Amino acid sequence: MLRLNALTTKQIDQFVDEGFVKLENAFSADIARDCVSILWKETGCDPDRHETWTKPVVRVGELGHEPFIKAANTPILHEAFDQLVGIGNWHPRTTLGSFPIRFPSTEKATDTGWHVDASYPGENASSYFDWRINIHSKGRGLLMLFLFSDVSQHDAPTLIKIGSHLDVAKILEPKGEKGLSFMELAKKISSIPQRPEIKATGKAGTVYLCHPFIVHAAQDHHGKHPKFMAQPGLLTRNDFSIKRSGDNNCPVIKAILKGLKG
């Protein structure tokens, strides 16, 4: 069977060096519209009555509707997963996690701090803040940002610290298999070097594929139209084996090793 590469060599190199790649037209505008229609109903808000937009963020739980499954399982995304995480070393998404729907508001959101998403529960984890992340990125291959609406620089685009995944690898290495909890790592992020930032903007149907160690943050919404997105992880079938050498390592591992050598 002929395999078509979703990502160019240049894009893969960017992923290793900068920690993310922007994949436009990862799913269709029609699928995006279907997803937004479902999400509007779930928010309890009316798209035509701005007075119902009373909160800066409305979080919608996991949904298994067909449009979301279609968005997560296009051929171009599956091929990109193979290229970045290793052929077949990932589980297809049947949901897209929770949806942080951001509305234009003068009220500040309470979830805009810089952080790295954790990937597995620690012992006696009572909340997501107790979940952990280790140098092998146990359980997680990617962080993904699915844009279901057009997102301009004013529409609360996610902020990404370029190259920060390399710094996080250094922080995690001495912690070994145990790693750090979400909050422990969040407290250490302030000590990493200054990094340039980009805003994850794009048309509906865009997906940002990010290294699991990337430092990112939400923003308050200063635009006119609500932002609809999802930010699921890509779960791995087998944990990564961090080796000191090897051309056969997938880009996720190559990026970790690059951070450790730097």
Whether 3 contacts 87, CB under 8 Å: no
This prediction's pTM: 0.95
pLDDT of residue 50: 95
3-state secondary structure the chain: CCCCCCCCHHHHHHHHHHCEEEECCCCCHHHHHHHHHHHHHHHCCCCCCHHHCCCCEEEECCCCCHHHHHHHCCHHHHHHHHHHHCCCCCCCCCCCCCEEEECCCCCCCCCCCCECCCCECCCCCCCHHHCEECCCCCCEEEEEEEECCCECCCCCCCEEECCHHHHHHHHHHHHCCCCEEHHHHHHHHHHCCCCCEEECCECCCCEEEECCCCCEECCCCCCCCCECEECCEEECCCCCCCCCCCCCCCHHHHHHHHHHHC
Distance, CA of 84 to chain centre:
14
pLDDT digits (tens, 9 = 90+) for 23-52: 999 999 999 999 999 999 999 999 999 999
Q: Is the pLDDT of residue 1 over 50?
A: no
Residue 244: per-residue pLDDT: 61
Q: What is the pLDDT of residues 176-225, one digit of tens each?
A: 999 999 999 999 998 999 999 999 999 999 999 999 999 999 999 999 99
- The average pLDDT across 227-238 equals 97
Instruction: Return the closest-CA partner of residue 116 out of 155, 169, 72, 59.
Output: 169
How many C-beta atoms surround the C-beta of residue 174 within 10 A? 7
Q: Are 112 and 36 in contact (CB under 8 A)?
A: no
For residue range 103-116, list pLDDT tens digits in order. 999 899 999 999 99
Percent of the chain predicted with pLDDT > 70: 97
Tens of pLDDT, residue by residue over 143-183, are 999 999 999 999 999 999 999 999 999 999 999 999 999 99
Q: Which domains does the chain have, with CATH numbers?
A: 9-261 (2.60.120.620)
Q: What is the mean pLDDT of the chain?
A: 94
